[in-house]
Each structure stands twice: as structure tokens, then as C-alpha cells.
Amino acid sequence: MLSVELVPLMIEALNHNKSISFKVSGTSMLPFFKHQSTTIHLIKKGDPYQRLDVVLFKYQDGYRLHRIMKINRDQVVASGDNLLSKEVFHPSQIIGFVESFGQTKMIKSHQMFYRLRVLCWLLIKPIMIRLRGIFK
């Protein structure tokens, strides 16, 4: 979870065309982003966002870093890679876009091999999450 106090500073930096990097906190984006191990490189990006982009967005009383599952002009549906729940919000609530991420080697988020891995994960995600719940 992002510190609510730091987000205004992050937004200001992004609005001045600066990029920001920070370590991911939490497990909602497993298996791709690991808690306190994966560093993400976030940039401000205007429309159009694409399905499968990972974005930082304002949601209710906090901020989330999740993947876009569906998008149109008036609505974005996002979800964590390790979650079955979804968040629905307006595209104007998007703060930034994950351009690259990594633990030792940075991976560009639009690399075809990475996006293919994401698509494969999304196909098996419901099964894997339910199986983990059974074996806890």
C-alpha cells in the first residue's frame, strides 16, 4: 500500500515529466511484482491506456497499483494479478503508468514476451488463486 502522504509528491513529479521509482508493497500483483523486492519505474502517460497496462490510480480513500482488464472512454476495470476482485473507476483517476519493472533486470512493460506471460497468467489465474486457498 502506498503512503498517502507521499502520493502528492509523486503526482507533482509526474506532472513535471519526471519519472519515479519505488519498491512494490503488498502481494496483490503476484506473481509478477513481489513485495519489497520488485522495483517499478512509473511515468505519467496520457491516453490511450491499453488493456494489460499496470497503472497507479486513486481508488476510494487510497491508491492502487493494478492491471487494466478493460477500458473505454468513461470506465476502467482493473484488478490485481493475485486477486479475483475488480475495481471500477474513471480514467481521469489514473496517476501514472508502469513503464518497466524488475528485481535485478528491468523488464519493459510492453515487451511482447512479458505480455504473453501476462495473458497466460490471466487464463489460469482463477484456478491458481482458488487452489492456493484450498492448500493454505
Tens of pLDDT, residue by residue over 99-128, are 999 999 999 999 999 999 999 999 999 999
Quote the pTM value. 0.91
Question: How crowded is residue 40: how many other Cβ atoms within 10 Å of its Cβ?
Answer: 22
Please give the C-alpha separations between residue 2 and each of 15, 25, 78, 88, 122, in angstroms, as whole numbers.
Answer: 18, 7, 17, 19, 25
What parts of the chain have a pLDDT lower than 70? 1-3, 47, 136
Q: Does domain 7-134 have CATH number 2.10.109.10?
A: yes
Distance of alpha carbon 124 from the chain centroid: 19
